[in-house]
């Protein structure tokens, strides 16, 4: 294996900022993944696994290690007890897979339409949107365990899923290189129409009992209205989507925040454990930020306050500085610290999930 050297990473990230990888290789077969992992280990180099780059901010100085881009492809299906188990390689484009399942009438992923990135990223963050999460249908993750050097298969319960969390992100970050993911879907099943905004959009279209395809259409339309579908020509396309996670707080904290805002109708979603999920975008706007507000070459999306957008001339340090400003303002107003959603590469240190300063 002969990696390339000094490969710019900005073109591989939807944010479009950041420096170069010291070494870079793309693996199209599992054997190449194992070889790349071993190559980095022999040289005591940090390994960075790159998917679609849609949830990534790379530091301006780049990364001193080996960036392994996953190009694994392939989809297999089998019937199991009236369900369909679909196994997709980690390098398969996520939305292409969702479209395939909808076209075949397999329920379980329809509300996750339009999310950028690759299949291998979905378990890491327990990807979810519009009332649906991958943990609801995921049955197994096949991965290379960098500790043992063995390929392992982890059942859903072993992945320790929680809201935007998993074993791969929280408990053992960097230990596993995901090779493929298996989902169990329901042929002819009803779509998941749980989210209020989605129900309203469908109702406005006169769809009381929508088919999977109609739900996908509505999800895509809603996402496009917020610039959450990456499309050429969109002024908001250079972003990581939602930059902060919707916070889940105690019921008393939710009431306190509503009192501070002077708005008892703050949007909220009760959770099974009695806590309440609040919309981070609402908090950002109530803290004094407006859609489209910018500081130099970085600002909020003109369509959604939860997306931080990098414009022409932006640097990674600018993105981090703006994100810190937003978070500090929300914390000052509401006493609540937002948690960033992207992964940060090439920064000297993190503090509470954000790079401690704008420099690498």
Residue of 164, 223, 291, 315 marked active site: 164
Residues 6 or more apart from 12 whose CB is under 8 A from it? 50, 53, 69
Among 218, 239, 242, 301, the active-site one is: 242
Contact 182, 120 (CB under 8 A): no
Return the beta strands (E) in 175-233 as ranges. 176-187
Catalytic residue among 92, 110, 133, 341: 341
User: Quick check: is 76 catalytic?
Assistant: no
> What gap in Å lies between CA 149 and CA 63, rounded to an integer?
24
Annotation marks residue 164 as catalytic: yes
User: 112: helix, coil or strand?
Assistant: helix
Q: Quick check: is 5 catalytic?
A: no
Nearest-angstrom CA–CA distance, 135 and 163: 10
Q: Who's near 8: CB < 8 A, 6+ residues apart? A: 19, 20
Picking from 184, 182, 191, 189, the residue whose alpha carbon sits closest to that of residue 80 is: 184
* 161 DSSP 8-state letter: -
Catalytic residue positions, numbered: 164, 242, 341
């Amino acid at each position: 294996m002969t990696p390339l050297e000094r490969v710019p990473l900005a073109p591989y990230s939807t944010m479009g900022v950041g420096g170069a990888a010291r070494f870079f290789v793309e693996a199209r077969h599992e054997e190449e993944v194992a070889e790349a992992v071993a190559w980095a280990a022999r040289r005591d180099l940090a390994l960075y696994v790159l998917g679609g780059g849609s949830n990534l901010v790379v530091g301006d100085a780049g990364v001193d290690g080996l960036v392994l881009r996953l190009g694994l492809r392939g989809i297999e299906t089998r019937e199991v007890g009236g369900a369909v188990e679909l196994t997709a390689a980690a390098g398969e484009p996520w939305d292409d897979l969702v479209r395939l399942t909808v076209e075949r009438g397999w329920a379980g992923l329809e509300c996750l339409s339009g999310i950028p990135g690759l299949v291998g990223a979905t378990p890491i963050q327990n990807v979810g949107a519009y009332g649906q999460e991958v943990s609801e249908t995921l049955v197994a993750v096949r991965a290379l365990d960098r500790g043992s050097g063995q390929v392992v298969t982890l059942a859903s319960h072993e992945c320790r899923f929680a809201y935007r969390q998993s074993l791969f992100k929280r408990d053992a970050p960097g230990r596993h290189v995901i090779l493929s993911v298996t989902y169990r879907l329901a042929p002819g099943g009803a779509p998941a129409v749980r989210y209020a905004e989605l129900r309203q959009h469908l109702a406005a279209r006169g769809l009381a009992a929508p088919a999977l395809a109609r739900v996908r259409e509505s999800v895509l339309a809603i996402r496009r209205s917020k610039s959450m579908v990456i499309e050429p020509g969109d002024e908001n396309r250079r972003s990581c989507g939602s930059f902060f996670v919707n916070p889940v707080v105690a019921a008393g904290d939710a009431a306190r925040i509503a009192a501070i805002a002077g708005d008892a109708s703050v949007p909220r979603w009760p959770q099974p454990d009695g806590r309440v999920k609040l919309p981070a975008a609402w908090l950002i706007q109530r803290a004094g930020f407006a859609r489209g507000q910018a500081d130099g070459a970085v600002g909020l999306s003109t369509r959604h306050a939860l997306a931080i957008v990098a414009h022409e001339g932006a640097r990674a340090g600018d993105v981090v500085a703006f994100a810190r400003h937003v978070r500090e303002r929300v914390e000052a107003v509401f006493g609540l610290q937002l948690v960033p959603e992207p992964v940060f590469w090439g920064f000297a240190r993190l503090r509470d999930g954000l790079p401690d300063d704008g420099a690498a």
